[in-house]
Amino acid sequence: MATEAVLRRVNREVLAAHMQGCLLEAIKHGNAEQKVDELMKRIDKMAE
């Protein structure tokens, strides 16, 4: 259980970093749709 909690926290931090970096840049440059798709794939992978 403790290991799972740590993994969830790490996954959340990775996701937040991805959103703050890549996703914001994609929005600025007009290719947000592609990055949102990537983000959804990451979320799906985390939910497995």
Interior angle at CA 42, CA 33 and CA 1, nearest 5: 155
What's the total number of domains in the chain?
1
Provide the domain limits for residue 7: 2-47
Handedness of CA 11, 16, 19, 22 (dihedral sign): negative
Q: How confident is the model at residue 38 (pLDDT cuts 50, 70, 90)?
A: confident
The average pLDDT across 4-25 equals 85
Interatomic CA distance for residues 6 and 48, integer angstroms: 16
Q: Go through the chain and tell me how many residues it has.
A: 48
pLDDT of residue 1: 77
Give the residue, 30 or 15, on which the prediction is more confident. 30
What average pLDDT score do residues 17-34 get?
86
